[in-house]
Amino acid sequence: CGIIGDGGLVAVFISVFGSALATEQIGLHAALGGFMIGIIIPRPFKHFLIERLEPLTVVLLLPFFFAMTGMKTSFDITSNTIVSITLIAIVMSMVGKFLGTTLPARRLGENWPDSIAIGILMQTKGMMEVLLLTIFRDAAIISPTCFSAMMFMAIITTSLTMPMLRLVMPWISKAPVPS
């Protein structure tokens, strides 16, 4: 039951695009429709579909999405407003993500070094934040200035994740492992 024929693949494409069109028509973002189809696809088919479609989406479609998003982003370094919003967003995001994951991880029984590593690794924003920011900008929920500041916050905090982890790794690796 792990293989979908060509007809099944066509049905998946029709479902995804149809659902995307439907959500767009009712005033929601098309990505929400595609996401909903992804949720309802039966688990045995998901791995096959990912294996079959991921090369196409990662190599062809994802760069177009990022290029389009980049063209909607502008960062005027001479603007005190955008620089201030970006800096505040970076600090608040890093502190919030770090404390919001480190402390619960510790409370749930992780040791301090692992809890700190989890807090640092949560700095990565990934594709979902970029998608949500794009949806919010397109729906005029956030301003173009806020969109640009938040995009740069996502890029900067994600870029800082590995350097921060490398900085604390010597301390983490020397920590005693509980038995």
Mean pLDDT of 12-23: 94
Question: Please, are residues 72 and 137 in contact by the beta-carbon 8 Å criterion?
Answer: yes
pLDDT band at 127 (very low <50, low <70, confident <90, very high): confident
Confidence of residue 177 (pLDDT cuts 50, 70, 90): low
The burial class, CB within 10 Å (0-12 / 13-18 / 19+), for 61 is exposed
Q: Which of 16, 25, 3 is nearest to 61 (CA)?
A: 16
- What integer pLDDT is reported at residue 40 of this predicted model? 93
pLDDT of residue 8: 84
The pLDDT confidence band at residue 145, using thresholds 50, 70 and 90, is: confident
Cα 137 to Cα 132: distance, rounded to the nearest angstrom: 9
Tens digits of residue pLDDT in 78-105: 778 888 999 999 999 999 999 999 999 9
Cα 53 from chain centroid?
19
Contact (Cβ atoms closer than 8 angstroms) between residue 73 and residue 136? no
Closest alpha carbon to 74 in 128, 151, 134, 127: 151
Q: What does the mean pLDDT of the chain come to? A: 86
pLDDT at 174 over 50: yes
Closest listed residue to residue 97, CA positions, set 167, 149, 158: 158
Interval 119-146 mean pLDDT: 87
